[in-house]
Chain A
Amino acid sequence: MDTVLLLTHVEGDGALPRAALEALSAARALAQGGAVSAAIFGKGAAQAAAALAGTGVTGVLTADSPELADARYGSDAAAATALAKASGAAVVVVPGTSRMLRVAAGVAERLGGRVDTHVTGVEAEGGLAVVRWYYRQRIEAKLRRKERPWILAVDPGAFQAAPAQGGATPAVQAVPLELPASAKRTAVEGFRSPASGEQTIRPDAKVLFVAGAGWTKKQADGKPHPEKAEELILAFIRTAGASLGSSKSLVDQAGEGQKVFTFMTHLNQVGQTGSTPRHAKGLATCCHGEEPHVVGWRFIRERRAVNLDANCGWARGKADVVYVADAFAVMEKVNALLKG
């Protein structure tokens, strides 16, 4: 039976990333009822172990140092490797946060093991197996590896967070770590938020709102209404706390000199070369629902669309409900209802 380790960093505020508790669920599934130990690195790692109280974790190794405060390849890879080596676990499960993904493969290499990232499912029956996506979420594969250690980076949102039943913090053991100078060359200066000021990408939002190219086209009165469209879209994003997505055609229009929305960038693109966000619900408006865009909706559980075209792609198996209606009128009312 493979021994399983949950390996994670601690966040700047001293808490464990939510994705770590989700990764713990994956780790427990792989352990098939056997022991799961944990390892945490970062500044404040020792205190963060308390977050694992009542989760069934058998012990926590820590590498806690101010030198590990920032997300940096050199020091993080050294710390993670030291912890994994100390644990001797055969399977190392890490959350797919940006900090862990930066080092997961490097750590696997240092351990002489193998790595698989963006894991969205695990199985233990018949030998440990993971499920991951290839070709930008268009093909799904289940695979097994014989080599150990096997590092698995689990996609945020793919698993439920492991419940904490309360109780005693598992035993914490510090692992000594001497960081060579080569691990500390890079210095983290800080963070930069998007220039536009409007935060439209919200990975934790319950609803994804996709605004398609139809918002910029001529309406029933023969004229386009981009300012009204912008007002309606922004109002919904703000009131519903939704995340904003778009189709490639709308995002590309910015390059053609057409009036587009100031708050939209290529980062909002869903599908094709854009993102495949994960949300419980998705509402597509003024969007044709053609295959290349819809591929990006892979992880949106419930889907509804508002489109004047009853024959759009959404109506043919890609959405749960299609409302054949004018999105301008509908969203105006939706915003009013949400506010009131």
Chain B
Amino acid sequence: MSSASTPESLEAPARQSMAVDIACVGFGPATAGFLTTLSRRLADAAKPPLESAASPGLPLQVVCYERADDLGFGVSGVVTRGRGLRAAFPDLDPSQIPMAAPVKDEKVLYLLDPVGASRRSAALRTGDAAIRAARFALKTDTHAVELPWTPAFLHKQGGFIFSMGQLMQWMGAQVLASGTVQIWPATPVAQALVEDGKVKGVRLLDQGVDRQGRPEGASFMPGMDVLAALTVVADGPVGAVGRQLDQALGMPEGNARRDWAVGMKFVVDLPEDTPLEPGTVLHTFGFPEPEIFGFLYVHPDRVASVGIFVPSWFESPIRTSYRYLQHYVQHPALWRYLKDAKLRSWGAKSILESGKRGEPLLAGDGFARIGEGSGSTNVLTSSGVDEAFTTGVQLGEGVIELLEAGKPLTRENLEAAYVARRRASWVEAEGRVAERARDGFQRGVATGLVGMALSGLTGGRFALGEEPPHPAEKVGTLEAFYAGKIAPEEIAAIKRDCEAKGLPLHDALMDRAGWPAVPLDGKLLVSQQDALLVGGKVQAPAGYADHVVFVRPELCQACSRRVCVEICSAEAIRPGDGGTPAFDREKCVHCGACLWSCPERIDGTDQVNLSFRAGAGGLHSAEN
């Protein structure tokens, strides 16, 4: 973090500072839960006012700083049971929120590979052959088999399909309308201000700097320090402040963030004659690679979200999302609905799948952690929004309790008022069931699926597999991944060719492995840059430093598996001079997939060679 700070100079304007009572970092479902709860109390005229300690005489000063240029630009999803949401909004009427639909129908599909290019284990291939042989009985004309039974833990009946972007805008509008709290988008937080293990507030990102963070003339404005008695850290799974606190204060014994995925999706306008009904939920596995799960959710007005998850335990060093997503939507089981669909939006984000094992210190002197960055996502039920929202509500209730009692926001008090609430709730209970549910994937897809079912059905008592290692250890080699398909000499030749042309490897290798060229049609099948611009409306304001930095260029130069280039959702990280990748901050969507894909651990520590910091800009679509 420190290399982005201001060098002292005579001309440099002084760093300004101001004080509030509560500063929140990030506006996602967790902060939405927190501020909904808090703002309702602050606006309640029947209760005694909560006074500001930072500005005596004024009401409690609560601000939220959101990195993205608007609320709802940085999020994506979702299908949820919405228990916490409905508790906070008992009259929740999905027709009031654009793109929301009650869940009507859920299916799980196993997708066979009609292309023949995916890498399938012998066991899986045998299974596929058996399915094809029984095709008349199993109706596999679309190269897919519907599971006759969906495990209960995956059910979302009684829940909702939302566009997270729209949900966040709706919640944000409600919170703002109360007039009691402020939300500031386009305001990235660079770091928390930590002193002797206590958090004093936050420091915002410097503005008016060049790509290396150096002041650029008259427009330079050092990031303001916002001092606060309580900093609510809710910046999501890849947020800079959360990770800074993990490093500065340590994580609970044995906890670490090991398991990740990047979700990439399209939002589409379905064809006029679509048979798909709003509320339809489709989950898939098996294609484009067995490791890649997918989904299709149907919103009202013939809109659908379709996407895939590329996990950190998928050891291909050329793992890439966009091309796989293009093949996914062309799978016959999906293409029957998506042919002639039009691209409306596009986005990508990382999901922290470590669950309780990725839980940081939930509270300390001057701070509390809520949301996905606090390990609240349930990896068994694949559910995170409601959990995040609920942790926010829990913190809100705890803070209100403390303020009403005039108690300071110390670690002990926050643990008693917030953490205890969380531990006593369904979020914790269900999180414990999910704790080891995905360990089986460390051994392979089949083991993983069986392990999930086992964990789910035994309430978490039994699990398969083992705890994931640091994600860098999961990155395999090209030779191993393509063993039996492409000879090592040919791989080396392709690598040399791509390097000479300055291209990433994935297209050349996937082409060679038998993945067909994608027939661009200008409707749904478009170039990655077109998806970025026309779908994601990706933009970045000028005057900010690069937020992806390669710590030791020599490590990059020696690196033989530049996964960061391959996995980058936006082609913002590209092959660069002499091996160190080039970064184009105007394309970055801040998904953070690069941060958990880098295979170069610095001196064997948990820190990798790629530093992913707070930055401005990104997606400008509120439909994801």
Residues of chain A having any CB pair with chain B under 8 Å: 222, 249, 252, 255-257, 288, 290-292, 311, 313, 316-317
Contact = CB atoms under 8 A, between A and B. Distances in A.
A256 B533 contact: no
A255 B533 contact: no
Contact of B520 (A249, A252, A255, A316): A316
B592 interface: no
A255 B220 CA distance: 12
A124 to B, nearest CB: 36
Nearest to B584: A249
A290 B529 contact: yes
Contacts of A222: 577
Contact of B522 (A256, A288, A316): A316
B600 to A, nearest CB: 24
A111 B529 CA distance: 51
Contacts of A292: 533
A255 B522 CA distance: 33
Contacts of B520: 311, 316
B542 A311 contact: no
B490 interface: no
11 contacts: A222-B577, A249-B586, A256-B542, A257-B216, A290-B534, A291-B530, A311-B527, A313-B530, A316-B520, A316-B522, A317-B522
Contacts of A288: 529
Contacts of A316: 520, 522
Interface in B554-600: 577, 586
A291 B533 contact: yes
A249 B538 CA distance: 13
Contacts of A313: 530
B543 interface: yes
Nearest to A317: B522
A288 B542 CA distance: 20
Given A255-B543, A257-B216, A290-B529, 12 more contacts: A249-B586, A256-B211, A257-B211, A290-B533, A290-B534, A291-B530, A291-B533, A291-B534, A313-B530, A316-B520, A316-B522, A317-B522
Contacts of B542: 252, 255-256
A86 B533 CA distance: 53
A291 B532 CA distance: 11
A255 to B, nearest CB: 4
Nearest to B533: A290
Interface residues of B, number: 14
A290 B530 contact: yes
Question: Looking at chain B's contact residues, is the secondary structure mostly helix, strand, loop, or mixed?
Answer: loop
A222 B502 CA distance: 10
B401 interface: no
B210 interface: yes
Contacts of B527: 311
Contacts of B529: 288, 290
Interface of B: 210-211, 216, 520, 522, 527, 529-530, 533-534, 542-543, 577, 586
A105 to B, nearest CB: 32
A256 B534 contact: no
Contacts of A256: 210-211, 542
Contacts of A249: 586
Nearest to A313: B530
A216 to B, nearest CB: 13
B286 to A, nearest CB: 30
For the complex of A and B, the 6 pairs showing the least CB-CB separation, nearest first, are A255-B542, A257-B210, A290-B533, A291-B534, A256-B542, A252-B542
Contacts of A255: 542-543
A313 B522 CA distance: 10
A252 B542 CA distance: 8
A292 B539 CA distance: 12
Contacts of B522: 316-317
Nearest to B521: A316
A290 B586 CA distance: 15
Residue from A222, A249, A256, A290 with most neighbouring chain B CB atoms (10 Å): A256
A257 B211 CA distance: 9
A159 B324 CA distance: 50
Nearest to A252: B542
A288 B534 CA distance: 13
A252 B211 CA distance: 13
Contacts of A311: 520, 527
A292 B586 CA distance: 15
A291 B522 CA distance: 11
B579 to A, nearest CB: 13
Nearest to B210: A257
Nearest to B577: A222
Nearest to B211: A256
A311 B210 CA distance: 32
A317 B534 CA distance: 16
A257 B530 CA distance: 27
A252 B533 CA distance: 17
A316 B526 CA distance: 11
Contacts of A291: 530, 533-534
A157 B302 CA distance: 42
A268 B7 CA distance: 35
Contacts of B210: 256-257
A252 B279 CA distance: 43
A219 to B, nearest CB: 12
A255 B586 CA distance: 13
Contacts of B586: 249
B558 to A, nearest CB: 20
B10 to A, nearest CB: 21
Contacts of A252: 542
Contacts of B534: 290-291
A257 B219 CA distance: 12
Contacts of B530: 290-291, 313
Contacts of B216: 257
A59 to B, nearest CB: 53
A313 B586 CA distance: 19
Contacts of B543: 255
Contacts of B577: 222
